[in-house]
Structure 1
Amino acid sequence: MDFVRTPEKRFERLLDYPFAPNYLSMGEMRMHYVDEGPETANPILMMHGEPSWSYLYRHMIPVCAAAGHRVIAPDLIGFGKSDKPTRVADYSYQAHMDWMQAFIDGLELDNITLVCQDWGSLLGLRLAAENPDRFRAIVVGNGMLPTGDQAVPKAFRIWRAFALHSPWFPIARIINTGSFRTLGPDERRAYDAPFPNKTFKAGARAFPALVPMSPNDPASEPNRKAWKVLEQWQKPFLTTFSNGDPITRGGDHYMQQRVPGAANQPHTTLTGGHFLQEDSPVDFANAINDLLKRMETA
């Protein structure tokens, strides 16, 4: 498939993003990831969603790395510093799953703590369910694993139509709208950096339409199978949703009731909008660190 690579100069001198780049080959394409903290420590896999990239976790990565954890934050194919197929049709739920499976296989990751939000949850929760022996804990903030069997919020339907059909798709403004705080000009530049023009935005355009919205969606049955695993999940499962996200509101209580590993966990509600990593990054990171500390002393 045809793909583009964002020029490196677009990422020069980004605010609060001092991390060295790392790349894993995906055939002819390459996938970028941040890798901070002790190389021998158990990894925390921080997965971003739509339409962000690893920059979203810039304030959380140092907090978790300073606590002695290895923190890995990939840019999904189509986002950030990773390569970007140029057609919306090049992206599918399964293609993203295959890319992420290749990623954890290529880095030989085990004893993983998954941290996920938005599409990071749609991919990450299924990745954990399909590789349960490789994950030791899950932390979900503002995310879900839909099967198409539930009603879809009106707000999401509007967002889906906008992503597919609007001639204007301003990445930084979208993230700013989904946050309580107002992003500064340097932060907006960083979120726009991966996308010099519309050719680079096919992956961001595609994501909303890939969410299962009917029981017969191609991803519905694989996600149902993943839920069967999660319904038997006994390892720690923590929710850290925000108090101001109209898209995922209530999803934390749903998962707490359905996933056994959520029992007796110190679930927390953080202050923020959809992008809680922008609004409460330190509180989010500390919740992860506290969970892992409890696991190590249990």
Structure 2
Amino acid sequence: MGNDVLRTPDERFAQLPGWTSMPRYFDDLAGCEGLRLHYVDEGPRDAAVTALCLHGEPTWGYLYRRMLPVFTAAGLRVVVPDFFGFGRSDKPVDDGWYTFERHRAAMLAFVDRLDLHGVLLVVQDWGGLIGLTLPLAAPERYTRLLVMNTGLGTGTVTEGFRRWRDYNNAQPDLAVGRLIQRGCPHLSDAEAAAYDAPFPDRRHKAGVRAFPNLVPDRDDAPGAAISRDALAYWKTRWAGESFMAIGMTDPVLGAPAMRGLHAAIRGCPPPMEIADAGHFVQEWGEPVARAALARFGLDR
């Protein structure tokens, strides 16, 4: 690993509240050889349903700690990767390394490497921007969808997102834990600090800086065409089951944006609305996970 890639020391992830998952790694994913990608993989490997949980920006897999035990208690396998630049995954220091296509290709390679089937796709924020395009490559792998505050990067963005992007661009050393705690006031200081764990200093935050600028904001932006193809897929070809939960206080991807996405997902039932939840809906995740499993007939 050269000076152009950073790896957060393991000790920064010791004794995080509510997080006991054993780390696992790939360092030879196709197209990303030499970079180590972290993931957790819990529950029976032969489970009929695998929850593939994709986080957003500026979080990591820790965001799913309230949902993961609900899924495993119901007999699901749960796989939670960290995008490159986040969590325990390696962090290239060059902001320009991060591209929509590179992250999508890494997730496709990850799903292929684990050969996941019967996938319940669980997405929020960038987890949705990338994750909602994945079934285009292998629709037979995906049978269910749990979607929270996110969207598809078809080339149009909200004014709320533009304000967030401007704010992020003015914060090259974004205080990640403090940001998330502002939107999730029920978090303890120790939980907020867990969101800072991946980032010892600003050099580790290239992904945090880059991701908002990767959201396709014009028709010809990288990722926009594949996102429009994905929109058509969810509208006309999706044949699986769906569940949506909306954090109603989200100023960036709140109710109006989510209702637009809801209308684009074929057969999606009325969404679960969480009045006091903001953008990081997974911090209210236990009742969301239980409601989704009940909807899918997977609760037990």
Q: Name the TM tier (shorter chain).
A: over 0.9
Using the alignment, how far apart are the partners of 2:150 and 2:82 within structure 1? 17
2:291 aligns with one of 287, 293, 298: 287
Residue pair 1:21, 1:32 contacting (<8 A) in 2 also: yes
1:203 corresponds to 2:207: yes
Using the TM superposition, name which of 212-221 and 81-90 deviates more. Answer: 212-221
Using the TM superposition, name which of 91-100 and 221-230 deviates more. Answer: 221-230
Using the alignment, how far apart are the partners of 1:213 and 1:138 within structure 2? 25
1:57 corresponds to 2:64: yes
1:214 shift after superposition:
1.2
Q: Letter of the 1:239 partner, please give it.
A: M
SS in 1 for 2:39: strand
The 4+ residue runs of structure 1 with deviation greater than 6 A are: none
Encode CA deviations 1:154-205: one digit per residue, 9 max, x unaligned. 32212212222324411111211232x2421211221100000111100111
Residue pair 1:24, 1:106 contacting (<8 A) in 2 also: no
Encode CA deviations 1:204-258: one digit per residue, 9 max, x unaligned. 1100000011112121111111112112212112211111112112233223322
1:286 shift after superposition:
0.6
Using the alignment, how far apart are the partners of 2:12 and 2:168 within structure 1? 23
Using the alignment, how far apart are the partners of 1:61 and 1:216 within structure 2? 37
Using the alignment, how far apart are the partners of 1:23 and 1:185 within structure 2? 28
1:238 corresponds to 2:243: yes
Residue pair 2:173, 2:205 contacting (<8 A) in 1 also: no
Using the alignment, how far apart are the partners of 1:273 and 1:257 within structure 2? 21
User: Alpha carbons of 1:176 and 1:100: their partners in 2 closer, same or farther (altered >3 Å)?
Assistant: same
TM-score (norm 2): 0.92
Where structure 1 has 5 or more consecutive residues not aligned to the other structure, the ranges are none
Where structure 2 has 5 or more consecutive residues not aligned to the other structure, the ranges are none
1:39 matched residue in structure 2: 45
1:267 corresponds to 2:271: yes
1:173 aligns with one of 175, 178, 181: 178
Using the alignment, how far apart are the partners of 1:248 and 1:204 within structure 2? 18
Using the alignment, how far apart are the partners of 1:162 and 1:257 within structure 2? 30
Using the alignment, how far apart are the partners of 1:191 and 1:55 within structure 2? 8
2:233 aligns with one of 229, 248, 265: 229
Encode CA deviations 1:266-290: one digit per residue, 9 max, x unaligned. 5311240111111x22111112211
SS in 1 for 2:154: coil
Q: How high is the sequence identity, in percent, across the aligned residues?
A: 39
Using the alignment, how far apart are the partners of 2:139 and 2:257 within structure 1? 22
1:125 shift after superposition:
0.2
1:131 shift after superposition:
2.1
SS in 2 for 1:260: coil
Q: Letter of the 1:177 partner, please give it.
A: R
1:130 corresponds to 2:137: yes
Count of aligned pairs between the two proteins: 290
1:12 aligns with one of 4, 14, 24: 14
1:255 matched residue in structure 2: 261
1:68 matched residue in structure 2: 75
Encode CA deviations 1:51-99: one digit per residue, 9 max, x unaligned. 0001101111011100111111111111001111111100000010011
Using the alignment, how far apart are the partners of 1:111 and 1:137 within structure 2? 8
Using the alignment, how far apart are the partners of 1:213 and 1:255 within structure 2? 17
Residue pair 2:43, 2:75 contacting (<8 A) in 1 also: yes
Q: Letter of the 1:112 partner, please give it.
A: V
2:24 matched residue in structure 1: 22
1:60-209 aligned at under 5 Å gives the runs 60-148=67-155, 150=156, 152-179=157-184, 181-209=185-213
Q: Letter of the 2:11 partner, please give it.
A: K
Q: Letter of the 1:36 partner, please give it.
A: E
User: Alpha carbons of 1:267 and 1:46: their partners in 2 closer, same or farther (altered >3 Å)?
Assistant: same
Q: Letter of the 2:159 partner, please give it.
A: K
CA RMSD, aligned part only? 1.7
Residue pair 2:145, 2:241 contacting (<8 A) in 1 also: yes
Using the alignment, how far apart are the partners of 1:167 and 1:242 within structure 2? 27
